[in-house]
Structure 1
Amino acid sequence: MNAARKRPAALRRIALDTRPLRIPAYRRLLAGQGSSYIGTMLTGVAVPVQMYSLSHSSLYVGLTGMAGFLPIIAFGLYGGAVADRVDRRLLYLWSSLVTWVTTLALLGQTLLDVRSEGLILALVAVQAASFAVASSARGAIIPGIVPAELVAAANTLNFTAGNLGEVLGPLIAGALVGLPHGFAYAYGADALLFTLSLYSTFRLPSLTAAGQDASWRGGMRSVLDGLRFIRTSPVVMMSFAVDIAAMVLAMPRALFPQAVALRFHGGIGLLYSSIAIGSVVAGLFSGWIGRVRRQGVALTCAVACWAAAIALAGLTRDLATAVALLALAGAADLVSAVYRQTILQTYAPDEMRGRMQGVFTVVVAGGPRLGDLRAGAMAATTGLGLAWTGSATLCLVLVLVTASCVRPFWHYTVREQDHEEKVPAAV
């Protein structure tokens, strides 16, 4: 009988922590985000496929990625600064409206058969800018509606929902774009799903950053204040540095087509979905994450596990083994993402959280793009093995050595005094 009681208790300790769902405001936020994640992936697949169908050129497909890169940097940083000055709910709502209108414009150019590569690139740039602002505001909202001790659990739920969208969205998009008028179906479904996100955002409470005063400096000076805070905070700086290393040195995504052609002879869909699948599975068994106190060490170990699994996947010639190792890497990525986000949201003061989330958006969205560029350039000059396993191994060594040498980060521990901000569950 005692053993039977212990099993459910042990399961609760490792299962996904759903306590943040008791908070109505967070529940609405997650529901809206969950639907928008799937819609975003629908457009994320439809745009490059439509671009290739119009141009018959991989160069234009690559330009769709680069079209969003600079807007993400500029609007991610400045949007974060604005989020520290205005009502974050309104900023999130208006930037989400821009994203929604841009999706409708993508739908319109498809229905009208405009067939303009330049128009699609322009719309991608606008959508990337609004996404960057919305992401900066959204990340700063979570600590305002969730008690500090549940921030890690809330982030885990967010990332799990996002990874589930990364699995379901491409599968749905793949089915839709193969139909007659399939691009219109994909964009239309994205617009419909995003409507749910707009409604949930509208229902959020007003959320203005604490600590505002007349000395707040707008424009680039405010952005520079945020960057200066990072430079003088080793804990925050290292949380960004390890993520940049992981994405730039150990992201193998751009190598999948070549690996399929030379090694696996099929299975491209499995390779592209394997990391997200691993993250989803890890999210379902993530109840332990919020109980870890040494978050600097935990983040380092998660990134090291990511790099090691990626390096091993680059050595195998068996597709099933590669998929399993990439899924393991995805599980580690989920853990590292939760700790990165949680450190930012709890370490930075509330009046600085928008700017920290702006930098986080730039790193998370820009890092993989730079990683794709690095991997592709290395593979073309040094070969697949060095571009995949060699670079991931370098990442592993670099992260372990650097993180262990930065003592404030390595010894960073979540303390009760870091959890002073409490928010009623009935928000």
Structure 2
Amino acid sequence: MIVILDKSGSMGGQKIELAKEATKAPLALLKDEDSFGVVAFDYNFYWPVRLQPAANRTQITQAISAIIAGGETNIYPAMREAYIQLAGATTQVKHVILLSDGRSLPDDFEGLTKKMAESKITVSSVAVGNGADRELLANIAKWGKGRTYYLEEPTNVPQIFTEETELATGKTLREESFKPVVKKNVEAFKGIDFKTAPNLLGYVATKSKDTSEVLLESARKDPILARWQYGLGKTVAFTSDLKDRWAVDWLKWKGYPKFWSQLVRETMRRQDDNEFDFRVERSGDEAKMTINAVRKDGQFRNKLDSLIRVVGPDQVVSDVSVHQVGPGSYEAKFPLTKKGSYLFRAVGEDSGGSSRVLAYSYPDEYHFYPPNTDLLRAISSETHGRFQPKTEDIFDPNGETTALPTPLWPYLTGLALLLYLADVLLRRIRLFEL
């Protein structure tokens, strides 16, 4: 996939920012082995992202963020360059998304787009704003056997790019018989034999989040059931069906009611135990966990069988033992080695499922990042300035002068006041009385 992005001057402000976010959107849907590139254009074109594996998401995202709007609109050279890059590719799907908000210089768009179609390259177009050449972009999509979109406001551009990627790759629906494979046994699966479960007839293919926990998957390693923690809450995603389209045989399976009742119960928020006071505080580079367990009748709860399960910012799970330090009082410590949010959950029959979140990070404005020299160089070039000037050149006016107006009213007001006082004085004192 190649995105052809208009970076002309009319794309300045919110348009270019939303367009850059939209350009990043396909990365969340493409597999690591898929190829992705971005060619940006004004009057000329350049490659912010050369065609490369989508696995390089961090570098690709940084390169897209550095794009700056400026210049005229000239689509044809960028389209020709995308065609040259994709013409010799042997991949099954070759797709181009063209976004523009202006009117391009005329050229043989029909001939080029039909050549792309003959090379099995599909082209879709997105027209943004009233100034876009909707007719040309619609024709390009028609000649390129793709889809065309028109948006008066750029706020929906990221959503359009996501939908376009899903349609282009054809990976959203997989209607085929398969048996879900248990990737991880959890408490919600207790007493359920998935080996005896009938086949499901389809699912929506997707990609699991880095922070998610895949519980069931297909033979293609696509997630079928996944869950993840968000703060104190839990979220579960099931990518197949609950009715008689894909789950027609599951509805007759005796494990079906038990599966859903246990899954829902496991996902629901658990109420904290009033007899179990669980607290987490930061102490330097450590988290200090304290538990005070007292029954309603005032008796201490001693010798509790409880663990603290810690989920770090990198989603690594650690179990920490708590030690009783007094009547009904327990303590434990955990080192904070990574920046981010930590989730602490008390597990065990006596814990009540209490959980706490501890943030161990600094705001973004305190983070130190290396200088973005490409962005600074581009700003200097666009504004006709100098990149990394010498010290003596920083305040060099280069022969330029400017007029600086000086307000005269303070001086004139002071003079008028002095003349007024002099007039009063001369009226009071007769210097030349005869």
TM bucket (normalised to shorter chain) is under 0.3
> Which structure dedicates a bigger proportion of its chain to helix?
1
The higher radius of gyration belongs to 2
> Which structure dedicates a bigger proportion of its chain to strand?
2
